[in-house]
Amino acid sequence: MRIGIVCYPTFGGSGVVATELGIALAKKGHKVHFITYSQPTRLDFFNENLYYHEVDIRTYPLFEYPPYELALASTLVNVIQYENLDLLHVHYAIPHASAAYMAKQILKTSDREIPVITTLHGTDITLVGKDASYEPVVTFSINASDGITAVSRDLREDTFKHFKVTKDIEVIPNFIDLERFKKQKKDHFKTAICPDGEKLIVHTSNFRKVKRVEDVVKIFSNIRQHIKAKLLLVGDGPERSHIESLSRDLDICDDVRFLGKLEAVEEVLSVADLFVMPSEKESFGLAALEAMACEVPVISSNTGGLPELMINGKTGFMSDVGNVEEMSANALLVLSDENLPKFKLQALQRAKEFDVENILPLYEDYYNEIVEISQRTIVR
C-alpha cells in the first residue's frame, strides 16, 4: 500500500508513534510518505520505502500567523496525486484532520478519492481540542474522516464525551520496538551518575503543566530522605525553570540532573531503577511503556489510559493524581533490594504485549478495511 503520514515531527509522543509506525510499515514493504514541516526526529536513516515531503510555509508581511494548515493541505494534494497514494493517515487532530479534509475536497473536484484516517493521541481531545476555540472544527474534521483511531479505550470514551462523534472509533494502543528499547549494558554510565550505588530515578517529558513534573521532584525529595538516590530529568519545556527553582528550594540540586532533549533515551532508561509519571492526563503513556521495555518499573497516576498499560502492584503502582505521599511510599517499596528485581521483570513482561509485531497488524487490518469501504462507496 502507498500510505501518506502526517504528524508533528518533534519529540512529542504522537510524532514518535507516527514515525515508528511509518518505519515499521516500510520494513514490511509498504511505501510510506511522511508529510511534515521538518524531518521527523527518528527518521534519520535511509530506507528505500520511506519518503519525506517537507511542507513549504511561505510567509508574507501581512501574515501575523503563517497559514500552516493551507500549506499542508496544498502539499497533501500534490503528494496524493503525484505519488498516487492509497491512504492518508493523520496523527493528532489539530490541524491535521482539517487539512486532510480540505485536501480531500480539492481532490474530489478532479474525481480523485483518498480515504483519510485520523488517529487521536490525547491532548488534541482532552485539552486543546475541546476548547471552544477549536471544538467545532475538531468535531467536524473527526466526523469527516473515513476512519478514526484512539490510542486507548479511555481516550475513545473521552472523545465521545466531549465531541458529537457520529462514527465508531477503533482503539489501537501505542506500541514499542523491543529491538531498540531493551536494557543495554551501560555500567560505566551508571557508575558515573551513581558512584555510591544510589538508586536512579528517571522522568522524561515535554515539561508541560499536564505532566506535573513538580510532583516528580517532590516524590524524589521524599525518596531521598530514606535512601541514596539520583534523579535524571530528560526533555525540556515551559516548566523547566520552575522545576529548577523548586529543586533549589528543596535543597536537592546536587542529586538532580537535567539532560535536555535526548534522542537515545533508551540509554538512560537502561541504567534506571524507577520511572515516574504523575501526569494530570495521559491518554496512553508511551514514555512509561518505553521505560518498562528497558526493565524499569513505573510509579504513575491512575489517569486516562495508564490503567490500560500498567498492572497495579506488578509493573509498579498507580495512585490518584497529586497523591505525592502515596507515590513516594510506593516508590520506596519498589526500590527496596528484595522487590526491585521482581518489578523489573514484570515491567518487561507487560511491555512485551505491546511489541510492534503485535500492534502493527491491527493498523494494517484497519487500513485494509477503510480502503475497501472507500472503494465500495466509489463504485456505487
Q: How far is the CB of 63 from ligand GMT (least distance, A)?
A: 26
Q: Using CB under 6 A as the criterion, what x/- string covers residues 321-360 for binding ligand GMT?
A: ----------------------------------------
How far is the C-alpha of 40 from the C-alpha of 42, rounded, in Å?
6
Nearer to ligand GMT, 159 or 279 (CB): 279
Q: Is 93 in the site for ligand GMT (CB under 6 A)?
A: no
Check residue 22 for interaction with ligand GMT (CB under 6 A).
Answer: no
Stretch that binds ligand GMT, among 12-20, 256-264, 332-340, 344-352 (CB under 6 A): 12-20
Which listed range, 110-118, 120-128, 313-321, 368-376, lies at the site for ligand GMT (CB under 6 A)? 120-128
Applying CB under 6 A, does 283 fall inside the site for ligand GMT?
A: yes
207 binds ligand GMT (CB under 6 A): no
Distance (Å, rounded) from C-alpha 34 to C-alpha 22? 8
Residue listed under C-alpha cell 509498504: 30
Give the SS3 label for residue 360: helix
Q: How many residues bind ligand GMT (CB under 6 A)?
A: 20
Q: Rule CB under 6 A: is residue 13 a binding residue for ligand GMT? A: yes
| 128 binds ligand GMT per the rule CB under 6 A | no
By CB under 6 A, what part of segment 225-244 binds ligand GMT?
none
**Is 142:159 a contact under the CB 8 Å cutoff?**
yes
> Which residue in 215, 239, 273, 282 binds ligand GMT (CB under 6 A)?
282
Q: Return the residue of 210, 250, 321, 333 that touches ligand GMT, per CB under 6 A.
A: 210
From the list 71-79, 191-199, 284-292, 352-360, the region that binds ligand GMT by CB under 6 A is: 284-292
Distances in Å between the Cα of 154 and the Cα atoms of 58, 78, 96, 196, 333 are: 39, 36, 22, 42, 28
Q: In what order do the strands lie in the sheet with 199-204?
A: 256-260, 229-234, 199-204, 274-277, 298-301, 316-319
Confirm or reject binding of residue 12 to ligand GMT (CB under 6 A): yes
- Contact yes or no for 60/282 (Cβ under 8 A): no
Give every strand in the sheet of 2-6, ordered side by side: 50-54, 31-36, 2-6, 87-91, 116-120, 147-150, 170-171
Between residues 91 and 224, which has the closer beta carbon with respect to ligand GMT?
91
Using the rule CB under 6 A, give the single segment among 8-16, 32-40, 212-220, 231-239 that binds ligand GMT.
8-16
Answer for which of 19, 75, 98, 123 binds ligand GMT (CB under 6 A) is 123
Which residue, among 313, 319, 236, has the nearest Cα to 276 in the 3D structure?
A: 319
Least Å distance, CB 305 to ligand GMT, is: 7
CA angle 63, 64, 66 (to 5 degrees): 55
Q: Which stretch binds ligand GMT (CB under 6 A): 54-62, 116-124, 330-338, 356-364?
A: 116-124
- Could you say whether residue 315 binds ligand GMT (CB under 6 A)? no
Cis (ω within 30 of 0) for the bond into 95? yes
Q: Which of 151, 292, 327, 351 binds ligand GMT (CB under 6 A)?
A: 151
The per-residue DSSP string of 277-295 comes to: E--S--SS-HHHHHHHHTT
Q: Are 48 and 75 in contact (CB under 8 A)?
A: no
What is the DSSP code (8-state) at residue 298?
E
Interface residues with ligand GMT (CB under 6 A) are: 12-15, 17, 92, 121-123, 151, 174, 206, 210, 279, 281-286
